[in-house]
Structure 1
């Protein structure tokens, strides 16, 4: 595709081995961008890179390791050129009651999703300042309205929204734009795995029909790449999430009423246990040894 502002620009995507990250890498490459793919699962990163029509670099990096990210940024800069776009997409999730959650597992979700996003921005910010670039932070409906049994994930996604707003205010006068992507259910390993657990599946089933619809990763990536091209401050997929943003103060009471109605039954049925890491990406993060002291 010619005429895109991404033509011959370097784009960094974290969590690019599968799911939305891989789909977004393909969408950016179709616009002529060079891709730096960061994450766990090096064989999957290599496979995504090999299928792209433009130059790509696959780097196995844990986003919670700032030194590794600094090294990755130097490699990207040297081999592909300074990035004009950075997408902080890497994320993990676990479900289950907070009271019985493993503190280390809970903290890991926050560390990857929130602290890892901040480490990513810190490592590549010098390049974005040089290129007057664009940082896209992947957030969630969970940034707007927290759900029961997903406390770490919801806390981390609320945090990345706040981080994105703060970073935008700090760097706007340097010509760097920061966008936040509010996404609902996407057909990825993480969501398919969550549906295997009765408590998460049933809580989702009691949402209004528009709120429980799942969207293909390629469809979401197509929306996101247009957001990147236009350097927008926010994107909502699906579009009705913008209404949730406007009415976010009304969401906690709605969630509370639903939880009071559904959770006692699920608790009595013994369906409230911890899920462990959700999806292949979450299991890859768990298996990386990152949690071990």
Structure 2
């Protein structure tokens, strides 16, 4: 290990325009990495790339479009070289009861968070194999224990965790390392938007002390960057969340008991309803998906 193991290394980050992706980009750049910033918010990516102290390439792409991701991987390869690390960070969320959720919107969360991660891995695996690189899947606290009102998000993040574990076993003999990140609550526009809905706010504050804390995005990014440096198999934020792993089996009955008692009164007397895709990133995803639909018609 050198003093700066990421210096001049090429790292790809999806969902880099805002939130954890942007915070991680700034932290990795501080450590000397050269970055490929992927997402469908082109102007925001350009601004971020221009603000970083190291070389950064902004690539506008939707992670649910496998052909476009293949082109993006070729563009990164041609402009920067082969990446030695890829962080599958792109994600969106929507809250509300499953029974009244919009099927297309529900499926979009799955497509971005799970299928988009798989597309990302598929596009960049040739590079990671050539560089004996590292793939970090950003999962979530939701991967460890599902909660009501977040069915698509929890299902997608649990699926992303399972995908990463499967990929880890498949590519280890090729020298490629795969890790899973389990961040709890981070101060991003998605979480701030969720806090505006009483049911989602109460789901968080009724969690045990420590779990319910909202952590600064920059602090989470430091832990993620360290995981990239160390090629970590798993990173928990906060670190003590690793203690939850052997107790996962006990979480569903606890959540069920809590929800059965409290869910009917959490929305201050109003019917529980869909939140729509949360935060500025969710709105940008909705706009990009609508634009894609328009082009296909």
TM-score normalized by the length of structure 1 = 0.97
Q: Once superposed, what is the RMSD of the aligned Cα atoms?
A: 1.2
1:204 aligns with 2:204: yes
**Contact 1:199 1:271 survives alignment (8 Å):** no
> Deviations 1:195-249 (Å, cap 9, x if unpaired)?
0011111121211221110111110110111111111100000012111112111
Structure 1, residues 142-177: CA drift from partner, whole Å, max 9, x if none? 001000000000000000000000000000000000
Matches within 5 A, 1:9-88: 9-88=9-88
| 1:57 aligned counterpart, secondary structure | strand
- 2:130 aligns with 130
Residue 142 of structure 2 corresponds to 142
**How many residues are treated as equivalent by the alignment?**
292
Contact 2:198–2:268 at 8 Å: present in 1 too? no
Q: Which residue of 2 aligns with 1:270?
A: 270
Aligned to 1:97: 97
SS in 2 for 1:38: strand
- Unaligned 5+ segments in structure 2 are none
In 2, distance between residues paired with 1:283 and 1:162?
28
Structure-1 separation of matches of 2:211 and 2:233: 23
> Match for residue 239 of structure 2?
239
Post-superposition shift, 1:271? 4.4
Match for residue 161 of structure 1? 161
- Partners in 1 of 2:75 and 2:119 — Cα distance? 16
Normalising to structure 2: TM-score of the pair?
0.96
Q: Secondary structure at the match of 2:266?
A: helix
Structure 1 residues not aligned, in runs of 5+: none
1:67-118 Cα distance to aligned partner (Å, 9 max, x none):
1100000010010110000000000000000000000000000000000000
Partner of 1:193: 193
